[in-house]
């Protein structure tokens, strides 16, 4: 599973506090409110819970790729409790990434919670004080020492 045997599915998990999550609400054009989560989505240069170290340059490249997709008009969607694979299951979509940026070794994101069944579940939990963490996924090559390319 390591080295040159192909791309691996990579995942990083951060708790609400580790991700420095902030909950924001804004008025929308329909007279309602939109709910956002903003915080660290992925970290570079540190060993994560998976015992992997993602180089900051690779994290920056991935963040730039996502930004290019967002500014190019693509919707970058996320799920609740996403599966191991990289496919998006539309029935599990809870949020859309609206912004990504780097601050030092950290890749930050702003996530708009959508009015889907899973998004409404997330909204209810956040409004009730539940501290949800963030989990990022991608693909890349990993070496025996846990380093590699995203």
Residue 26 within any structural domain of the chain = yes
In the predicted model, what is the mean pLDDT of the chain? Answer: 83
Residue 130 within any structural domain of the chain = yes
- Look at residue 45 in the predicted model and tell me its pLDDT: 92
- C-alpha 27: how far from chain center: 24
Residue 111 within any structural domain of the chain = yes
Residue 5 within any structural domain of the chain = no
Per-residue pLDDT tens over the stretch 101-150 = 999 999 999 999 999 999 999 999 999 999 988 887 655 555 555 445 54
Query: The pTM is what?
Result: 0.81
- Number of domains comprising the chain: 1
Residue 145 within any structural domain of the chain = no
Residue 7 within any structural domain of the chain = no
Average pLDDT for residues 43-56, to the nearest whole number?
Answer: 84
Residue 21 within any structural domain of the chain = yes
- Residue 55: give the domain boundaries: 12-136
Give residue 4's pLDDT band: very low, low, confident or very high (50, 70, 90).
Answer: very low
Per-residue pLDDT tens over the stretch 55-76 = 999 999 999 999 999 999 999 9
Cβ atoms of 118 and 94 closer than 8 Å: yes
Helices (H), 4-147: 56-71, 117-127
Residue 98 within any structural domain of the chain = yes
Query: CA neighbours within 13 Å on the CB side: how many for 36?
Result: 15
């Amino acid at each position: 599973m390591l080295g040159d045997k192909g791309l691996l599915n990579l995942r990083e998990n951060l708790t609400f506090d580790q991700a420095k999550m902030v909950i924001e609400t804004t008025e929308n054009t329909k007279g309602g409110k939109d709910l956002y989560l903003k915080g660290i989505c992925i970290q570079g240069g540190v060993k994560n819970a998976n015992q992997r170290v993602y180089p900051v340059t690779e994290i920056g490249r991935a963040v730039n790729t996502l930004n290019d997709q967002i500014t190019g008009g693509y919707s970058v969607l996320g799920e609740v409790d996403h599966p191991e694979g990289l496919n998006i299951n539309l029935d599990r979509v809870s949020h859309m990434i609206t912004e990504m940026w780097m601050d030092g070794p950290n890749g930050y994101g702003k996530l708009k919670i959508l009015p889907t069944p899973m998004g409404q579940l997330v909204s209810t939990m956040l409004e009730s004080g539940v501290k949800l963490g963030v989990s990022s996924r991608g693909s890349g090559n990993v070496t025996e020492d846990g380093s590699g390319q995203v």
